[in-house]
Amino acid sequence: MPWWQALMRRSGLGQWGEEHVAKLYEQQGFQVIAKNYRAQGGKQVGEIDLIALRGRELVFIEVKTRTNQAFGTGAESVTDAKQRKLVRACKHYLQKHPEFSDYQYRIDVAIVTSDLDRQDASVTILPNAVDDRN
C-alpha cells in the first residue's frame, strides 16, 4: 500500500479511539461531559481528550490510540512533560468549573490498540495513571 493511503487510513484514528473509549466509560455509568477540552491562559496550557462524570466522581482521560508500537506504546507516549500538561489542564478546568470543586477526581490514561481498518480494538484503561501532585 502506498504511504499516502496508509496515512489517509490513519487520519481520524485518534478521534475514533476517543469515541471508542467514551462508549466504554458510558457503559460503566459515566456521562461524558466534555471532549477535547483545551485549557488556555495566554498560551495553550494543554488538552484533555475526555472528561467523564459519575455521581460526584470526575475523570479526566488521556486517550492514546496506536496501530502498532513503531513509535512506542501508548503508555510510553505519556511522558513526564505530557503528564505536567495534563495536570495543568485539569486544574484549569476545575478553576473554570467551580461546581466540581468538591468532587473526587482522577486522571486516567486509556490505551487503544487497533488494526488500520479499525475492525478490532483492545482498550487498556490505567486508572489514576497520572499523579496530580507533580
Q: What would the pLDDT profile of 22-38 be if each residue is shown by its tens digit? A: 999 999 999 999 999 99
Q: Is residue 108 part of a domain?
A: yes
pTM of the complete model: 0.83
Tell me what pLDDT residue 15 has: 86
Q: Can you say whether the dihedral through the CA atoms of 12, 62, 81, 37 is positive or negative? A: positive
CATH number for the domain spanning 33: value is 3.40.1350.10
Query: How many independent structural domains does the chain possess?
Result: 1
**Edge-to-edge strands, sheet with 121-126:** 31-41, 43-54, 57-66, 104-114, 121-126
Report the alpha-carbon distance of residue 51 to residue 32 in Å, rounded. 6
CB 79 within 8 A of CB 66: no
Tell me what pLDDT residue 4 has: 39
Please give the residue range of the domain that contains residue 39.
Answer: 3-126
Report the alpha-carbon distance of residue 110 to residue 116 in Å, rounded. 18
Tell me what pLDDT residue 75 has: 56
pLDDT digit string (tens) for 74-126?
555 667 888 898 999 999 999 999 999 999 999 999 999 876 555 667 899 99
Q: Is residue 132 part of a domain?
A: no
Confidence of residue 8 (pLDDT cuts 50, 70, 90): very low
Q: Of 127, 58, 54, whose CA–CA distance to 91 is shortest?
A: 58
Tell me what pLDDT residue 118 has: 55
| Chain center to CA of 83 | 11
